[in-house]
């Protein structure tokens, strides 16, 4: 007597219906996640941007990469204003932009420091 039995292959239309159901469920889940992302304040993104800007300022970014640092401040101010207007999706994008520009300033500082050491 076999220990494992295999059932017959399922009807292709049943498999197709199950696949369609799973696809719809995943689409609904992704849509809900997108809605939540746009309806909640970008707390983590704002924190990340502020920390990146502070690090660039402490590393003398105002002298080495003033444009990048100024852009970071501008994007952060835009994000803060958009949070007040409850435009969370736009605020999230600008907070990420602020962090990225501050990171660019930090990279410029590191490059300048490495060139100065050589």
In a domain, 56, yes or no: yes
In-domain check, residue 50: yes
Tell me which residue range forms the domain holding 99.
Answer: 41-117
Q: How many CB atoms lie within 10 A of CB 75?
A: 22
Please tell me the predicted confidence (pLDDT) of residue 28: 76
Per-residue HEC secondary structure of 11-47 comes to: CHHHHHHHHHHHHHHHHHHHHHHHHHHHHCCCHHHHH
pTM value is 0.68
* Domain annotation covers residue 1: no
The reply to whether 20 falls in a domain is no
Q: Is residue 11 part of a domain?
A: no
Instruction: Report yes or no on 45 lying in a domain.
Output: yes
Measured CA to CA, the distance from residue 80 to residue 72 in angstroms comes to: 12
Distance from the Cα of residue 98 to its chain's centroid: 12
**Strand, helix or coil for residue 118:** coil
Is 47 inside a domain boundary?
Answer: yes
Identify the pLDDT of residue 98.
98
Running along the chain, 118 residues long, what does each successive block of 10 average in pLDDT? 54 70 79 70 97 96 94 98 97 98 95 81
Distance of alpha carbon 91 from alpha carbon 14, whole angstroms: 45
pLDDT of res. 32: 67
């Amino acid at each position: 007597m076999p220990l494992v039995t295999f059932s017959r292959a399922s009807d292709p239309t049943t498999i197709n219906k199950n696949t369609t159901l799973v696809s719809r469920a995943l689409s609904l889940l992704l849509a809900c996640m997108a809605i939540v992302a746009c309806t909640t304040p970008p707390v983590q993104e704002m924190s990340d941007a502020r920390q990146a800007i502070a690090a660039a300022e402490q590393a003398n970014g105002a002298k080495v990469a003033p444009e990048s640092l100024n852009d970071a401040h501008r994007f952060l101010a835009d994000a803060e204003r958009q949070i007040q207007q409850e435009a969370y999706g736009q605020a999230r994008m600008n907070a990420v932009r602020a962090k990225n520009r501050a990171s660019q300033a930090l990279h410029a500082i590191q490059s300048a420091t490495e060139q100065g050491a050589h």
